[in-house]
Amino acid sequence: MTFLPSILSDNERLTLQRLVAEAKNVVLLCHQNPDGDAIGSMTAATLLMRRLGKTATPIVPNNYPDFLSWLPVNSDILLGDRQHRRVDNAFANADLVLMLDFNGLSRAGQLLADKLAACSAPRIMIDHHLNPEDCCQLTISHPEMCSTCEVLLRVMLDMGWTEGLTADEARALYTGIMTDTGNFAYASNRPEVFQAVSILLTTGIDKDKIYRNVFFSHTEGRFRLMGYLLYEKMEIMHELHTTLITMTNEERMRFNTKNGSTEGFVNIPLEMSGMKLSIFLREDTEQEGLIRVSTRSVDDFPCNEMCSRFFNGGGHKNAAGGSLKMTMEEAVQVVHSAVLAYREVLRL
Ligand code: 5GP
Ligand code: MN
């Protein structure tokens, strides 16, 4: 079926085999503010565990955007910040926890991080973020890969679990690969990405429909908010090839849009010729006085380094984020200092 080389050592394969064989009740988790790769990998892993005869309970720290609700398993996913009793039961019964698309307990949010730390079941991390924390019995971390869905498919190939790969599993995996590469616009130069996709397509999935489900599913409010932000709220630092967009909760509500409906906005300014860095600041919808930071870049500009130096965060080279406990006005000042600190590379 494939010429893709193995990514697991013999030891890792045996450990994974044993942990899965010994488990009956598997809890699956992804990171806070889940995106297509988080939900896609968690969904695929849930379906896989059920195919292997396990009881699988997927949990998200908080709700995720509507454009992912068409995915299978959607109605089984527990909301960590709302369904406390069912989440506690799932952890109490768990004999294995799969952590998908995040590299450390805290990225599941405080509430779930505490429950995760208190749960005695062994943990397996399957992820592609840099610098994984040492917090699991088995850590399968591949930052060179485009998405956790790519990592998961490679793990499934190594374990022989792709024998019997279902179209629903393939749809979920394709969703993560497609969204984390911006429909193959970035982080997708490795030939293995397309070999992975070609394996998924053999199950007969309609990838064009998945594209429409995810990218052509927005509300009028999102469109009007996008127009407003680009027209009224975008500062362009022409000499530094950098843009900054800010959005308050009042503005978000004025356009009747929910959490998650601004997903992807930060990418848009990079479509302007010559732009190198785009920064998006938005007020957190739950925590007052917290500003969420998203950054995107092209070529070699290190968003992750900037986010860890200035915004209490991190991430990938071309896509990173963080947060600031301050007012929007103060956060804008921090952004200006951060951009100035990189003026030599941004000016070129
Ligand atoms: P986004 O801008 O879509 O929220 O995040 C882009 C990427 O930045 C995420 O995939 C994640 O790797 C990283 N990221 C976002 N927020 C944080 C944060 O608060 N801390 C760290 N370490 N990484 C973050
Ligand atoms: Mn991801």
pLDDT band at 257 (very low <50, low <70, confident <90, very high): confident
* pLDDT recorded at residue 260: 64
The residue type of 60 is V
Identify whether residues 114 and 197 lie together within a single domain.
yes
User: Is 1 contained in some domain?
Assistant: no
- CATH code: domain of residue 173: 3.90.1640.10
Q: Give the domain extent around 120.
A: 10-215
Atom of ligand 1 nearest to the CA of 33: 4
Identify whether residues 174 and 86 lie together within a single domain.
yes
Average pLDDT over residues 320-342: 98
pLDDT band at 36 (very low <50, low <70, confident <90, very high): very high
Q: Which of 215, 249, 272 is the last residue of a domain?
A: 215
Q: What is the pLDDT of residues 289-329, one digit of tens each?
A: 999 999 999 999 999 999 999 999 998 899 999 999 999 99
pLDDT at 222 over 70: yes
Identify whether residues 169 and 74 lie together within a single domain.
yes
Q: What is the pLDDT of residues 148-195, one digit of tens each?
A: 999 999 999 999 999 999 999 999 999 999 999 999 998 999 999 999
Q: What is the pLDDT of residues 45-91, one digit of tens each?
A: 999 999 999 999 999 999 998 899 999 999 999 999 999 999 999 99
User: Is 5 contained in some domain?
Assistant: no
- Report which bound ligand comes closest to the CA of 146: 2
> Where is 182: in which H helix or E strand?
none
User: Is 163 contained in some domain?
Assistant: yes
- Report which bound ligand comes closest to the CA of 282: 1
Residue whose CA is at the smallest distance from ligand 1 atom 14: 321
Identify whether residues 63 and 199 lie together within a single domain.
yes
- Report which bound ligand comes closest to the CA of 101: 2
What is the Å distance from ligand 1's center to 89 Cα? 29
Q: Can you tell me the distance from the alpha carbon of 120 to that of 97, in angstroms, rounded to the nearest whole number?
A: 10
Spell out the SS3 assignment of 78-99: EECCCCHHHHHHHHHHCCEEEE
Identify whether residues 135 and 36 lie together within a single domain.
yes
Q: Which of 161, 185, 215 is the last residue of a domain?
A: 215
- Does the beta carbon of 176 sit less than 6 angstroms from any atom of ligand 1? no
- Does the beta carbon of 316 sit less than 6 angstroms from any atom of ligand 1? yes
Q: Which of 215, 234, 256 is the last residue of a domain?
A: 215
Identify whether residues 66 and 210 lie together within a single domain.
yes
What is the Å distance from ligand 2's center to 153 Cα? 13
Identify whether residues 109 and 148 lie together within a single domain.
yes
User: Is 290 contained in some domain?
Assistant: yes
Identify whether residues 69 and 135 lie together within a single domain.
yes
- CATH code: domain of residue 225: 3.10.310.30
User: Is 4 contained in some domain?
Assistant: no
304 contacts 129 by C-beta, under 8 angstroms: no
> Which of 68, 103, 107, 181 most suits a substitution to test ligand 1, by most atoms within 8 Å of the C-beta?
107
Identify whether residues 83 and 200 lie together within a single domain.
yes
- Does the beta carbon of 166 sit less than 6 angstroms from any atom of ligand 1? no
Task: Count how many domains the chain has.
Answer: 2
Identify whether residues 146 and 229 lie together within a single domain.
no
Q: Can you tell me the distance from the alpha carbon of 317 to that of 149, in angstroms, rounded to the nearest whole number?
A: 19
Identify whether residues 227 and 182 lie together within a single domain.
no
Identify whether residues 209 and 235 lie together within a single domain.
no
In this prediction the pTM is 0.87
- Does the beta carbon of 320 sit less than 6 angstroms from any atom of ligand 1? yes
Strands (E), 51-161: 55-60, 78-79, 96-100, 123-127, 138-141
What is the Å distance from ligand 1's center to 214 Cα? 20
